[in-house]
Structure 1
Amino acid sequence: MRWQIEHAKASGSHGPIQTPPRDHSFPRKASDFEAFHAGREFALHDLLGAHPCRRDGEAGTSFAVWAPRARAVSVVGSFNEWDGEAHPMSPVGDAGVWDCFVPDVGPGDLYKFRVRSGTDHGGDGPGLTVDKADPLGRAAEVRPGTASRVVPTGPYDWTDAAWVESRRQRGVPEAPISIYEVHPGSWRRNADGSWLGYRALARELLPYAADLGFTHIELLPVMEHPYDGSWGYQTVGYFALTARYGPPEDFAYFVDEAHRLGLGVVLDWVPGHFGPDLHGLRTFDGAPLYEMGEESRAVHPDWGTLAFDFSRPEVVSFLLSSARYWVEHYHVDGLRVDAVASMLHLDYSRRDGEWEPNEEGGRENLAAIAFLKSLSEMIHDRFPGVLLFAEESSAWPRVTAPVAEGGLGFDFKWNMGWMNDTLGVLASPPERRPRLHRHLTFSLHYAYKERHLLPLSHDEVVHLKRSLLDKMPGTDEEKFAGLRLLLGYMWTHPGAKLLFMGGEIGERKEWNEDGALDWRLLDDPAHGGIRRWVRALNRLYAEEPALHALDHAPEGFEWLDVHDAERSVLSYVRWRPEWEGAVIVVANFSATAWPDYRVALPEGGSYRVLLDSGDPEFGGGGRTRLPEAAEEVDYLKRPAALTLDLPPLGFLALQRRATRSAGRPG
């Protein structure tokens, strides 16, 4: 009961008290694993793995691992000189699970499971013996070491009860969401080139992001992975926090501190495919267990990783438990699910003959679809307010529709089409943009079919794609103006926002995970101006209901002039729910100034500038002056117009000074 009370206080829950973890002072029974074998176990980490406990009055650690086709399994580690004969494990009935208790083993000790396969299971060969990291291990040694580490399993002393409770009340469609995406190892480094730890990141990264007005931090995968260059996407430990940046309690401190500063924490999570390293999940008991049975189907053609077998109920239980673990154990506020398209389509990146249709003759991975729906239902039922983001690059329908309505149940889908189209236009020479004008506007044809997030992510600034600033053509002055224009367009376009680290300072180089951002750039006023621009955009986005309250409803956006391709200018209005205080946006994608440019308006009156990318504060060449009042004239079927000198690559956000009590104009 004491654990229940402490955990309820820590989680801020006012609902049913969660089930306490299993008492590991007794051996496991086959009946404990019925839900696991049915694909309905959401807390596998309380059944398998390493758990410090007492048995028969003796302190030690209970170990358990699923290896149904193994001939024998033993625990080896720093406590027994890695001797495979010292601590053999016993099978738990017919559950396919092996169990043992090792006295005098506790937090800090390293261990693996020595798995000896049988002679009739294929895989890596008859009678092969391999030392495997614990699939349910909660920590590991720093690479190149590959052993798991025993850690305490009790709850952290959380101080974020108010945050977690308030999270339950937030409405997804209405709340502003602006995410700062970060690779923890290369945001900033110590003077000697070593990584910042989780506590140092809490001291330096979190106040920085909060000051810039972001609502969330998103971390590239912090689950354990052997290869730095995979950025965490070749995951091996689905329950193990990477040891690169410190122990689990330090990461809990990071999340707790983020919540104290008003920042949510989103983790990148990779349930579609896993690292091919032999010490990990690959052919775990001598044959494919977590992955597809045939190597041609298991190996992902793009990444060389192995695809999970979602048709196996135990794999579903494993992954659902992983998602729950990160949300429940570390209080994270969301999961970004990587490469969803590769999970949904059996023929993803495969040619004819390299994939097999499903039982209905189609290309859909029916088991993966069922898994994603179960994931959405489990997270939303158990953790109200926690968000799920889908990196889904195909035209799969209803990604963000509720499961009960035939959807996948995600809260947001990454809008890859907007990203590709917008960057394609802004990376092109301005003289070509009139022919590309429709690429800037096409996203509004499908903007409201899903709840979208607009991503300028790590993938767009690596592998010879160049930094955001360097993508912009022209002189240095034009590059900075183009970047301010890009960011202004994103922050006023319907959809949540995501910006990868470095974009906010105008990083000149491509991202390199082996280094850090070039913080010396901020000595240059132009780079400091970009950072002030991002801060101003975040502030306006949060403070102006017109820019977020109807973000996912078509009535929140209206074009004022979508057809001025010749001059590469767009103008549009973002409406508030009460129709008063609308925000007018004018964006010149041309490198040419347009004197006496007339902007159609939904109503007359006097207007003020909310944001001007030409403001010297942001590194611009001068503010745009507005006339004292709009003309009361019929222009483009609007009742008023504003004439101004529109600067090259200029971005303006305007608002009427006085409001009326009437409804929506026009």
Structure 2
Amino acid sequence: MAPSEAQREDTALQHRLGVLTVSRVRRLSLLTDFDVWLFRSGRHFRLYEKLGSHLVKVDGVPGVYFAVWAPNAERVSVVGDFNNWNADEHVLVRREDGSGVWEGFVEHVEAGSLYKYRIVSHGGGYAAEKGDPFAFRWEEPPGNASIVWDLSYKWGDELWMKRRSEKNSLKAPISVYEVHLGSWGRGSSYVEVGEELARYVAEMGFTHVEFLPLMEHAFYGSWGYLTTGYFAPTNRYGAPQDFMRMVDVLHQSNVGVFLDWVPSHFPTDSFGLAYFDGSHLYEYDDQRMRVQPDWNSYVFDYRKGEVVSFLVSSALFWLDKYHVDGLRVDAVSSMLY
């Protein structure tokens, strides 16, 4: 469960009164100097292996490495169900290389743990609890906490993957069946849809399915086009491994998988990317460029290398971890004009 107002107020009161606990974060980094250079220059395409939450062991002790980009922050804490959402217990360490990354290792946090980042901006004028931009799983809406998760899965689509380049070749016949999973499955899980959809698509002679966005999104009425979790399939239909199983079954049925992907704009939910660290970090600072008027959403600031690294990493993440065959890029006009 996410923190109650009473829990938040109690922690805030303790902070004002100076009743602070000692942070129990251990120094740890998965980032090398080369990683940081790639990240800042817009050339890090596997950033999901470095930022976010990662289950690791340090000196034989299990736990989670947390890392988040928040250069305008004065203080960043990990809060979650493992510390009663106490912002003083696990304060992350700011890297000293000017990257704006805060990181650290928290012992004994397990897969399935709920968490957010408590971010206080420079000067203390802004404070918010934010979901992890690189979270592999989120709570099912209306919940909005991130979830520590491991993406291990035993794939059975080796034959498809070996032939993927020819199946998706410009010279290969392609007939695409577009699917809004929630409508087509009518409440079914990823696994249930995978089995039924594979049979139907193969019978109808389609070579590929294209799913309307299945990345986590808070507002169901957006059909997924207001993405909040760029590295997480929506939790509405099951766990990440259930999504993998759906892709696996489709591939084993000789059906390719495309995903709608939305790098053009994102919602302004207080727990998401908007005004992330008390500054317009992911979006344009200039309001004339920042607001997407059709959706009243924010447009990514493509001038920042870190934002480019975030988006390209998201695109490649779905091809890498979920064996997706291609992406349809939505609302390109918002990126150009």
| TM superposition score normalised by structure 1 | 0.46
Give the whole-Å Cα distance in 2 for the aligned partners of 1:207 and 1:28: 43
Structure 1, residues 417-472: CA drift from partner, whole Å, max 9, x if none? xxxxxxxxxxxxxxxxxxxxxxxxxxxxxxxxxxxxxxxxxxxxxxxxxxxxxxxx
Residue matched to 1:242: 234
Residue matched to 1:157: 154
Residue matched to 1:264: 256
Extract unaligned runs of 5+ from structure 1: 1-23, 120-125, 190-194, 346-666
Check whether the contact 2:76–2:118 (CA below 8 A) recurs between aligned residues: yes
Check whether the contact 1:50–1:150 (CA below 8 A) recurs between aligned residues: yes
Check whether the contact 1:25–1:56 (CA below 8 A) recurs between aligned residues: no
2:101 corresponds to 1:103: no
Could you say if the C-alpha distance between residues 175 and 169 of structure 1 is closer, same or farther in structure 2, counting changes exceeding 3 Å? Answer: closer
Q: Secondary structure at the match of 2:169?
A: coil
Give the whole-Å Cα distance in 2 for the aligned partners of 1:185 and 1:29: 38
Give the whole-Å Cα distance in 1 for the aligned partners of 2:80 and 2:91: 12
Post-superposition offset of 1:205? 1.8
Which of 70, 81, 85 is matched with 2:84 structurally?
Answer: 81
Task: Give matches, 1:478-493, under 5 Å.
Answer: none
Residue matched to 2:44: 41
Give the whole-Å Cα distance in 2 for the aligned partners of 1:267 and 1:331: 11
Could you say if the C-alpha distance between residues 30 and 97 of structure 1 is closer, same or farther in structure 2, counting changes exceeding 3 Å? Answer: farther
Residue matched to 1:53: 56
Post-superposition offset of 1:53? 0.6
Check whether the contact 2:261–2:328 (CA below 8 A) recurs between aligned residues: yes
Q: Secondary structure at the match of 2:134?
A: coil
Q: Secondary structure at the match of 1:115?
A: strand
Residue matched to 2:243: 251
Give the whole-Å Cα distance in 1 for the aligned partners of 2:151 and 2:106: 16
Task: Give matches, 1:416-431, under 5 Å.
Answer: none
| Larger radius of gyration between Structure 1 and Structure 2 | 1
Report how many residues are paired: 310
Give the whole-Å Cα distance in 2 for the aligned partners of 1:254 and 1:324: 19
Give the whole-Å Cα distance in 1 for the aligned partners of 2:309 and 2:70: 15
Q: Secondary structure at the match of 1:252?
A: helix
Structure 1, residues 229-268: CA drift from partner, whole Å, max 9, x if none? 0010000111111100000000110001000111000000
Check whether the contact 1:160–1:260 (CA below 8 A) recurs between aligned residues: yes
Give the whole-Å Cα distance in 2 for the aligned partners of 1:66 and 1:56: 26
Post-superposition offset of 1:29? 4.9
Check whether the contact 1:30–1:95 (CA below 8 A) recurs between aligned residues: no
Give the whole-Å Cα distance in 1 for the aligned partners of 2:195 and 2:59: 44
The one-letter code sitting in structure 1 at the alignment partner of 2:29 is P
The one-letter code sitting in structure 2 at the alignment partner of 1:276 is T
Structure 1, residues 100-128: CA drift from partner, whole Å, max 9, x if none? 11111111001000000113xxxxxx521
Post-superposition offset of 1:341? 2.1
Residue matched to 1:72: 75
Residue matched to 1:148: 146
Q: Give runs of ≥4 in structure 1 deviating > 6 Å.
A: none
Check whether the contact 1:37–1:314 (CA below 8 A) recurs between aligned residues: yes
Residue matched to 2:94: 91
Could you say if the C-alpha distance between residues 168 and 104 of structure 1 is closer, same or farther in structure 2, counting changes exceeding 3 Å? Answer: same
Check whether the contact 1:51–1:153 (CA below 8 A) recurs between aligned residues: no
Give the whole-Å Cα distance in 1 for the aligned partners of 2:207 and 2:224: 23
Give the whole-Å Cα distance in 1 for the aligned partners of 2:100 and 2:80: 22
Post-superposition offset of 1:342? 2.2
Residue matched to 1:187: 184
Post-superposition offset of 1:89? 0.3
Task: Give matches, 1:543-554, under 5 Å.
Answer: none
Structure 1, residues 578-611: CA drift from partner, whole Å, max 9, x if none? xxxxxxxxxxxxxxxxxxxxxxxxxxxxxxxxxx
Residue matched to 1:342: 334
Residue matched to 2:325: 333
Give the whole-Å Cα distance in 2 for the aligned partners of 1:324 and 1:171: 16
Post-superposition offset of 1:164? 1.1
Structure 1, residues 471-514: CA drift from partner, whole Å, max 9, x if none? xxxxxxxxxxxxxxxxxxxxxxxxxxxxxxxxxxxxxxxxxxxx
Structure 1, residues 141-196: CA drift from partner, whole Å, max 9, x if none? 00000000011143x2111111111112347332221111111111132xxxxx11
The one-letter code sitting in structure 2 at the alignment partner of 1:309 is D
Residue matched to 1:594: none
Give the whole-Å Cα distance in 2 for the aligned partners of 1:295 and 1:105: 40
The one-letter code sitting in structure 2 at the alignment partner of 1:146 is N
Could you say if the C-alpha distance between residues 297 and 170 of structure 1 is closer, same or farther in structure 2, counting changes exceeding 3 Å? Answer: same
Give the whole-Å Cα distance in 2 for the aligned partners of 1:171 and 1:69: 43
Check whether the contact 1:267–1:336 (CA below 8 A) recurs between aligned residues: yes
Give the whole-Å Cα distance in 2 for the aligned partners of 1:204 and 1:29: 42
Structure 1, residues 567-587: CA drift from partner, whole Å, max 9, x if none? xxxxxxxxxxxxxxxxxxxxx
| TM superposition score normalised by structure 2 | 0.89
Residue matched to 1:638: none
The one-letter code sitting in structure 1 at the alignment partner of 2:165 is R
Post-superposition offset of 1:27? 2.4
Give the whole-Å Cα distance in 2 for the aligned partners of 1:75 and 1:170: 44
Check whether the contact 1:25–1:55 (CA below 8 A) recurs between aligned residues: no
Check whether the contact 2:31–2:50 (CA below 8 A) recurs between aligned residues: no
Residue matched to 2:207: 215
Q: Secondary structure at the match of 1:281?
A: coil
Larger RCO (CA within 8 A; separation ≥ 6) = 2
Which of 288, 291, 303 is matched with 2:295 structurally?
Answer: 303
Q: Secondary structure at the match of 2:55?
A: strand
The one-letter code sitting in structure 2 at the alignment partner of 1:249 is Q
Check whether the contact 1:73–1:114 (CA below 8 A) recurs between aligned residues: yes
Check whether the contact 1:68–1:96 (CA below 8 A) recurs between aligned residues: yes
Q: Secondary structure at the match of 1:45?
A: helix
Residue matched to 1:277: 269
Q: Secondary structure at the match of 1:101?
A: strand
Give the whole-Å Cα distance in 1 for the aligned partners of 2:61 and 2:260: 40
Give the whole-Å Cα distance in 2 for the aligned partners of 1:174 and 1:131: 49
Give the whole-Å Cα distance in 2 for the aligned partners of 1:132 and 1:212: 44
Give the whole-Å Cα distance in 1 for the aligned partners of 2:264 and 2:78: 29
Could you say if the C-alpha distance between residues 323 and 29 of structure 1 is closer, same or farther in structure 2, counting changes exceeding 3 Å? Answer: closer
Residue matched to 2:29: 27
Post-superposition offset of 1:295? 2.2
Which of 265, 283, 286 is matched with 1:291 structurally?
Answer: 283
Structure 1, residues 595-639: CA drift from partner, whole Å, max 9, x if none? xxxxxxxxxxxxxxxxxxxxxxxxxxxxxxxxxxxxxxxxxxxxx
Give the whole-Å Cα distance in 2 for the aligned partners of 1:343 and 1:144: 29
Which of 316, 321, 324 is matched with 2:308 structurally?
Answer: 316
Extract unaligned runs of 5+ from structure 2: 1-25
Give the whole-Å Cα distance in 2 for the aligned partners of 1:295 and 1:240: 28
